[in-house]
Structure 1
Amino acid sequence: MTPILQNLVEMTGHRDHLRLEVSVLSTLQKLTSVIEVRALELFTDSGQAHVRPRTWVEDGQLTSTDSEAATDPRRESLDHYPALRECIETHGDSALASPRKGRHVLWLPVWMHEKVHTCLEITQSRPFSAHKLDVLKGVFAVYQNYQSLLDYSERDALTGLFNRKTFDEQFSRHTMQGLPSRAGAVVETLAAEESASSTEPIQQWLAVVDIDHFKQVNDRFGHLYGDEVLILVANILRSSFRSHDRIFRFGGEEFVVLLRSTTLSTAHKVFNRFRTAVQEYPFPQVGQVTVSLGFVSTTKGAPVEILGQADQALYYAKEHGRNQVCYYDELVAGGELASKVVGNDDVELF
C-alpha cells in the first residue's frame, strides 16, 4: 500500500472532526515540496468576515485550538486573503496565490450547507503542478465527504444541534479547557483577561434547558408547530452563545449547553439573556414560549453526576414558577435542595 493510501486509511478511521482535521493536515504535510499546512476557520464578527488558524504546525507538531474565534489574537480580516475571498464569493472549490518568491499557496474551502466555515491552506516552495493539484484535491474530496458523514452522524436531524451521543466526548474536551496545554493556550489567555477585572474564578458550566409546557403546544397546535418551536429555540440558543460553547439536543424539548471559561456572575447573565430572548420572541401561531434552566459547575464529578445536579436545579425551576434560571449550588446552600451524588445505577437521565 502506498504511503498516501495508508494515510487515507488512517484519516477515515477517526470519529471526531478535530482528529480528522489533524489527520488530513498530517497527510498533506508529508507530500513533497509542502512547507506548511493549516486549517483556517472563517467567521463573521460585527458584520466583517475574518479568518483565524484553528489547526497549525508549531515546533514541528500539529496544534489545535477551539477557543472563541472572535477574540483570538491570531485572527485576520478576510480582505488579507483576496484570492480566498474571491473564491468564496464565486462559490469556487479552490484558490491559488503566490504572495512572495518561494511561497505558493493553495486554499481549499470546505463547503457545507452552502457556507464555508473551514478552509485548508497548503503552502509549498514551488508552483503547484497539474498532477499535484489532482492529488491534493483527491485527498481533500475524501476528507470533505467524510466530514459530511461525521457531521450527519453527530447532529440532531431536526435542529442541527449536536445530538446526545456526541455529549461525552465534548464534555471531556470541555472540562479539559482549564488544564495547561498548547492547544488550550488561547483559552487560558481569555480566562486570564476576564479574571483580571474580577475576583471570581473562571469555570466551565453545564446547563439543562427545558421548554415550558411544551406538551400543551403539541396538543393545541399540533406537532408541526411543535417542531417549529424546537427549531426556533435551537436558533436562539445558537445566537445566545459563543462559537466555542457547545449546544446539544438531548431529545424531546430538552437541551444541554456547555458554557466555557467564564465566571459565575457572567454565566448567570448569559443564561438569563437566553431565557429572556426566548420569552420575547414572537413564535408564529403559538405566541409566547418560555424556558426553564438549571446549571452547575463542571469542576467536579462525572458527566452523569453533573447532569443530575443540573437536572435537579432545572426541575426546581419548573416546580417553582418556570421561566427562570436556577444555580444548583445556590439552591443547596439555601437549603432548597439536598446535595446528592448521582451514580450510574441511581438514575437514567433524559
Structure 2
Amino acid sequence: MDSLLQHMVDMTGHRDHTMLDISVVSAVQELSGAAYTRVLNIASVGAQKFVRSRACIHAGGVACPEEPQDAGPGEPIAAYPDLERCLRRHDMRAESLGADGLRRLWLPIWFGDKADTCLEIAHADPFTPEALYMVSGIVSVYRNFQNLLDYSERDSLTGLLNRKTFDDQLARMLHAADADAGPAGAPQAERRHQNGEEKQWLAVVDVDHFKGVNDRFGHLYGDEVLILIANLLQTSFRAQDRVFRFGGEEFVVLLRSTTLDNARRIIDRFRGDVEAHAFPQVGRVTVSVGFTSVSAADSPVVTLGHADQALYYAKANGRNRVCHYEELVQGGLLQTVAVNDTAEFF
C-alpha cells in the first residue's frame, strides 16, 4: 500500500506529460510485475490510425521516454489487431496472447469518444482480477491528471497547444539538438555527416489581413476563421509535429526530423490548403509563413526571431507565400547587422 501511495504522489507531482508517462509505466511495472509496460500514442492521419511508443520500461530496467526514430507517424494500427478492435468498439480494455507467449493488456485512455493514448502491459502469466482492479485504478488517476495537464497546455479557442507549452517544447528541442551536435570541438563537417540532412524546423504562420476580417465580418466570424485554420494545421502536418497558437492570428509549428525540401513541401501544402478552403461568410483567406532550422547554437529568442523575419519578408512581398530564413540571408534579402546572446537585429 505504501508503494502504491508513493506512486500516486509521484504521478500527481508532475507538470509535464513526459514525466507523467514515465511515472505511470514505472508504477504499473512495479505493482504488476510485468515483462514490460508502454505508453502508446495513437495518431490519426486522414482515415488511418498509427501507433507509436511514447514511454517504456522493461522488467529490471528504468523507465524512459521514446523519441521518434524516423519521420513517419508510427506503425499502422493493423499491426495491433486486438487494440484496433478495442478502439473500434470503444471498450475499456482488451487482452491478447502473443506468439512470444506474453499476454498483453490494452487499456485505452478515453476522453469522451476519443482515445489518443493507450497503456500496453505485457505479462508472462494471466492477469488476476486483483491485478486488473489495481491497474485500472492507476489508469484512472493517470487519465484524470493527464486531462488536467492537457487543459493547462491548450488554447481555449482552438484547442491547439498554447504559448507556455511552446516555450517548454522549443527549449527541449534546442537541448536535443545540442546533444545531437556531438562534442564541442568536433569539426562542423563531421557533425553534418553524423546528422545527415534531416533537421528540426520552426515555422511561424500569420493570417493575412486578419484585422480586415474582424472589422468587416465581426469577431465571431474571425474566431471561426482561427478555429478552421487550427483544424487545417492539425490535418496538414504530421503526427510527430507540434502545432501551437502563439497569440491573436499567429501560429507556430515545430517540425521534427525532416529535410529542407520536405519541410518546405509540408508547409506549402498547408498554405495551399488554406487558400483552397471556403470559409463560411468570409470566403477566401490566405496565410504567410516564415520558417527556419532549429540550431543548438541559437537561443529560443534568436530562433523565433529568424522565423519571424522570414514571415515579415513574406508579408511585405505579396503575402500568401512561404519564406525560408536561411535562403533569404544567403540571397542577400535579409541581413543581420547586430547580435547578442538573446536577440538579433536586422
Deviation track 1:110-144 (CA, whole Å, cap 9, x = no partner) reads 11242111110122233222222221111110000
Residue number in structure 2 paired with 1:31: 31
Q: Counterpart of 1:67 in structure 2: which amino acid?
A: P
The answer (yes or no) to whether the contact 2:48–2:76 under 8 Å persists in 1 is no
The answer (yes or no) to whether the contact 1:163–1:250 under 8 Å persists in 2 is yes
User: In structure 1, what is the Cα distance between the partners aligned to 2:76 and 2:318?
Assistant: 47
Residue number in structure 2 paired with 1:53: 53
In structure 2, do the counterparts of structure 1 residues 160 and 113 end up closer, same or farther at CA, with 3 Å as the change threshold? farther
Q: Counterpart of 1:240 in structure 2: which amino acid?
A: S
Map residues 76-115 of structure 1 onto 2, 5 A cutoff. 77-78=77-78, 80-82=80-82, 84-99=83-98, 103-115=102-114
Equivalenced residue count is 330
Residue number in structure 2 paired with 1:229: 225
User: In structure 2, what is the Cα distance between the partners aligned to 1:140 and 1:308?
Assistant: 41
Please report how far the alpha carbon of residue 342 of structure 1 lies from its aligned counterpart in structure 2 after TM superposition.
Answer: 6.3
RMSD over aligned CA atoms reads: 2.8
Q: Counterpart of 2:125 in structure 1: which amino acid?
A: R
Question: What SS does the aligned partner of 1:121 have?
Answer: strand
User: In structure 2, what is the Cα distance between the partners aligned to 1:268 and 1:152?
Assistant: 31
User: In structure 2, what is the Cα distance between the partners aligned to 1:38 and 1:119?
Assistant: 8
Residue number in structure 1 paired with 2:199: 203
User: Are residues 1:269 and 2:258 paired?
Assistant: no
In structure 2, do the counterparts of structure 1 residues 345 and 275 end up closer, same or farther at CA, with 3 Å as the change threshold? closer
User: In structure 1, what is the Cα distance between the partners aligned to 2:69 and 2:139?
Assistant: 26
Q: Which consecutive unaligned segments of at least 5 residues does structure 1 have?
A: 182-194
User: In structure 1, what is the Cα distance between the partners aligned to 2:157 and 2:132?
Assistant: 38
In structure 2, do the counterparts of structure 1 residues 148 and 68 end up closer, same or farther at CA, with 3 Å as the change threshold? farther
In structure 2, do the counterparts of structure 1 residues 112 and 174 end up closer, same or farther at CA, with 3 Å as the change threshold? farther
User: Are residues 1:120 and 2:119 paired?
Assistant: yes
The answer (yes or no) to whether the contact 1:94–1:107 under 8 Å persists in 2 is yes
The answer (yes or no) to whether the contact 2:106–2:120 under 8 Å persists in 1 is yes
Please report how far the alpha carbon of residue 101 of structure 1 lies from its aligned counterpart in structure 2 after TM superposition.
Answer: 9.2
Please report how far the alpha carbon of residue 21 of structure 1 lies from its aligned counterpart in structure 2 after TM superposition.
Answer: 0.6
Q: Counterpart of 1:34 in structure 2: which amino acid?
A: A
The answer (yes or no) to whether the contact 1:11–1:23 under 8 Å persists in 2 is yes
Please report how far the alpha carbon of residue 85 of structure 1 lies from its aligned counterpart in structure 2 after TM superposition.
Answer: 3.0
Q: Counterpart of 1:257 in structure 2: which amino acid?
A: V
Q: What's the TM-score, normalizing by structure 2?
A: 0.86
Q: Counterpart of 1:323 in structure 2: which amino acid?
A: N
Residue number in structure 2 paired with 1:329: 326
Please report how far the alpha carbon of residue 165 of structure 1 lies from its aligned counterpart in structure 2 after TM superposition.
Answer: 0.4
Please report how far the alpha carbon of residue 240 of structure 1 lies from its aligned counterpart in structure 2 after TM superposition.
Answer: 1.5
Please report how far the alpha carbon of residue 305 of structure 1 lies from its aligned counterpart in structure 2 after TM superposition.
Answer: 1.1
Please report how far the alpha carbon of residue 297 of structure 1 lies from its aligned counterpart in structure 2 after TM superposition.
Answer: 1.4
In structure 2, do the counterparts of structure 1 residues 75 and 158 end up closer, same or farther at CA, with 3 Å as the change threshold? same
User: In structure 1, what is the Cα distance between the partners aligned to 2:221 and 2:162?
Assistant: 21
User: In structure 1, what is the Cα distance between the partners aligned to 2:17 and 2:128?
Assistant: 29
Residue number in structure 2 paired with 1:308: 305
Residue number in structure 2 paired with 1:189: none
The answer (yes or no) to whether the contact 2:45–2:235 under 8 Å persists in 1 is no
Residue number in structure 2 paired with 1:217: 213
Please report how far the alpha carbon of residue 70 of structure 1 lies from its aligned counterpart in structure 2 after TM superposition.
Answer: 7.7
The answer (yes or no) to whether the contact 1:103–1:125 under 8 Å persists in 2 is yes
User: In structure 2, what is the Cα distance between the partners aligned to 1:239 and 1:342?
Assistant: 38
Please report how far the alpha carbon of residue 15 of structure 1 lies from its aligned counterpart in structure 2 after TM superposition.
Answer: 1.1
Q: Which consecutive unaligned segments of at least 5 residues does structure 2 have?
A: 181-192
Q: After superposing the two structures, state which structure 1 stretch, 120-129 or 23-32, moved more.
A: 120-129
Residue number in structure 2 paired with 1:153: 152
User: Are residues 1:3 and 2:10 paired?
Assistant: no
Please report how far the alpha carbon of residue 337 of structure 1 lies from its aligned counterpart in structure 2 after TM superposition.
Answer: 2.2
Find the partner of 2:279 among 277, 280, 283: 283
Deviation track 1:301-322 (CA, whole Å, cap 9, x = no partner) reads 1111111121122112112221
Find the partner of 2:240 among 216, 222, 244: 244
Find the partner of 1:341 among 339, 342, 346: 339
Please report how far the alpha carbon of residue 329 of structure 1 lies from its aligned counterpart in structure 2 after TM superposition.
Answer: 2.1
User: In structure 1, what is the Cα distance between the partners aligned to 2:141 and 2:70?
Assistant: 26
User: In structure 1, what is the Cα distance between the partners aligned to 2:45 and 2:312?
Assistant: 36
User: In structure 1, what is the Cα distance between the partners aligned to 2:339 and 2:255?
Assistant: 22
The answer (yes or no) to whether the contact 1:225–1:286 under 8 Å persists in 2 is yes
User: In structure 2, what is the Cα distance between the partners aligned to 1:212 and 1:275?
Assistant: 11
Q: What's the TM-score, normalizing by structure 1?
A: 0.85
Please report how far the alpha carbon of residue 227 of structure 1 lies from its aligned counterpart in structure 2 after TM superposition.
Answer: 0.7
Please report how far the alpha carbon of residue 168 of structure 1 lies from its aligned counterpart in structure 2 after TM superposition.
Answer: 2.0
The answer (yes or no) to whether the contact 2:97–2:103 under 8 Å persists in 1 is yes
User: In structure 1, what is the Cα distance between the partners aligned to 2:69 and 2:221?
Assistant: 34
Deviation track 1:220-258 (CA, whole Å, cap 9, x = no partner) reads 111111011001111111112111111110110000111
Please report how far the alpha carbon of residue 336 of structure 1 lies from its aligned counterpart in structure 2 after TM superposition.
Answer: 2.5
Q: Counterpart of 1:219 in structure 2: which amino acid?
A: D
The answer (yes or no) to whether the contact 1:54–1:64 under 8 Å persists in 2 is yes
The answer (yes or no) to whether the contact 1:55–1:63 under 8 Å persists in 2 is yes
In structure 2, do the counterparts of structure 1 residues 260 and 254 end up closer, same or farther at CA, with 3 Å as the change threshold? same
Please report how far the alpha carbon of residue 330 of structure 1 lies from its aligned counterpart in structure 2 after TM superposition.
Answer: 2.3
User: In structure 2, what is the Cα distance between the partners aligned to 1:257 and 1:283?
Assistant: 22
